[in-house]
Copies of this chain bind each other. A is one copy, B any other.
């Protein structure tokens, strides 16, 4: 019998990464195209499927391709659509799963990128063997994938798990979604940058970060500054962890997971973000939840995480 493999497609605002992955999480092939180059989704799909077919051809029939998993911003699992994604050029509702299925003649399962990351951790990463856990992706925004009893929590319409848009401060920072005080306006790569800019303005403390133009400060710069014990950078991580910790405690109170896994750019700051987050998460937990829930880093290799997550959808899919 031929070995089973799956195709994983991770659609980001800038790039689309895709590859063929086996059940052990080995990437047999990988390729990238620009997402933002194609105003027309059909032209994008032409390029995508041409490349996928080339990858399949290179396998020389040695593998059995089970299906295709797609992680996409604003992806809806129930409908296989991308709906009103602010970071993509394709407007309105795009029936992406159907469009790929017709071209590739393989079953397609599509969900949002953070949900794909959660399944990736369950099949290949830090959540192996767990049935109840939450993955938080700390990138430009804050995404979340909530797994309950081994299955993604979708809610009645497929949109559950948008923890980035829970409220931290009712009259707080304006979020990209249009409302005020969302968690992702504080706890994300852009959120910590906003915190640093506020702190630089409100204090006279010396900081390496003052030498960078305000609009150019990145979360990477803040991380590098924190490594040099820059007070503003350290205070920004402490504050980010405070906000994130309180909201993770809320999430635990909701679904009582075994672990919360932090992934994405900001999570790569390691103890700078994990230590304060863990401290405040414990502080704001109902006493009988305290010291029971693990806070873990992702175990997916950075380079392949998103493609692995998308491919992993295929192994857990019972729906399509």
A interface residues, Cβ below 8 angstroms from B = 83-84, 130-132, 146, 148-149, 151, 153-163, 165-167, 170, 177-179, 181-182, 246, 249-251, 253-258, 283-289, 292
Contact = CB atoms under 8 A, between A and B. Distances in A.
Contacts of A250: 166-167, 250
Q: Copy number of this protein in the oligomer?
A: 2
The majority secondary structure among interface residues of chain A is loop
Contacts of A162: 253-254, 286, 289
B132 A284 contact: no
14 contacts: A153-B255, A154-B256, A155-B256, A155-B257, A156-B256, A161-B255, A162-B286, A162-B289, A165-B253, A166-B253, A167-B249, A167-B250, A177-B287, A179-B284
Contacts of A284: 167, 170, 179, 181
Contacts of A257: 155-156
A157 B149 CA distance: 11
A170 B254 contact: no
Contacts of A288: 83-84, 159
Given A155-B148, A246-B170, A179 B253 contact: no
A7 to B, nearest CB: 28
Contact of A131 (B156, B163, B182): B156
Nearest to A83: B288
Nearest to A177: B286
B292 A256 contact: no
B253 A292 contact: no
Contacts of A285: 179
B292 A160 contact: no
A160 B134 CA distance: 13
Nearest to A289: B159
A296 to B, nearest CB: 14
A153 B148 CA distance: 8
Given A155-B132, A250-B250, A165 B286 contact: yes
A254 B251 contact: yes
Contact of A254 (B130, B161, B289, B292): B161
A246 to B, nearest CB: 5
A112 to B, nearest CB: 12
A157 B251 contact: no
Which residue of A162, A182, A251 has the most chain B CB atoms within 10 A of its CB atom? A162
